Amino acid sequence: MSRRFAAVALPLLAVLGTAAPAQAGPEPHTGDRLTLTVAGTGFPGTEGTYELTCHPTGGSHPEAQLACDHLDAVTVYGKDPFAPVAADALCTHQYGGPATARLTGTWAGRPVDAAYNRTNGCEISRWDAMVPLLPDTRGVPTKPKSPYRDAAQP
């Protein structure tokens, strides 16, 4: 029986020895990808569709590094940084303009599908909290700069 085992095992070991080694561990992280569509801002050059990749940073977003850094800063375990305004939130009746944005893709390994507008105080605050991912629409800049930058930045 040992000869029969050797007759089967040796050719099998020879074939297995030439096979490619198995990949160990999880699939490598391919980064975070978001697609941003912006309309109605009133700022030339801010409306349209932009791609943003983080980890590593890239894409067509005009402030990709700032947007990725901001998203990293607001991402907290157990909290959705793109969560909508709560249905029972008490919001001021003010209008922040016709700007709208749609964000889709993947962030921190989770799917993202979020809509933004400026139709009341809560939505305005939610939008402003996502600048520089979203363009700053809080007024006409006094000097040429990207409206994707936070107004507090030089």
**What's the token pair of residue 111?**
């799917």
- Contact between 116 and 127 under an 8 Å Cβ cutoff? The reply is yes
Q: How far apart are CA 58 and CA 56, in angstroms?
A: 7
3-class secondary structure, 117: strand
User: CA-to-CA distance for 141 and 154, rounded, in angstroms?
Assistant: 12
Residue ranges in the chain whose pLDDT is less than 70: 1-30, 139-154
pLDDT of residue 149: 57
Name the nearest CA neighbour of 147 among 134, 50, 52, 129.
134
- Whether residue 123 contacts residue 90, with contact meaning beta carbons closer than 8 Å, is answered with no
Entry pTM: 0.71
Closest C-alpha to 44, from 145, 118, 125? 145
Measured distance CA(98)–CA(88) in Å, rounded: 23
CATH number attached to the domain at 29-128: 3.30.350.10
What is the pLDDT at residue 45?
82
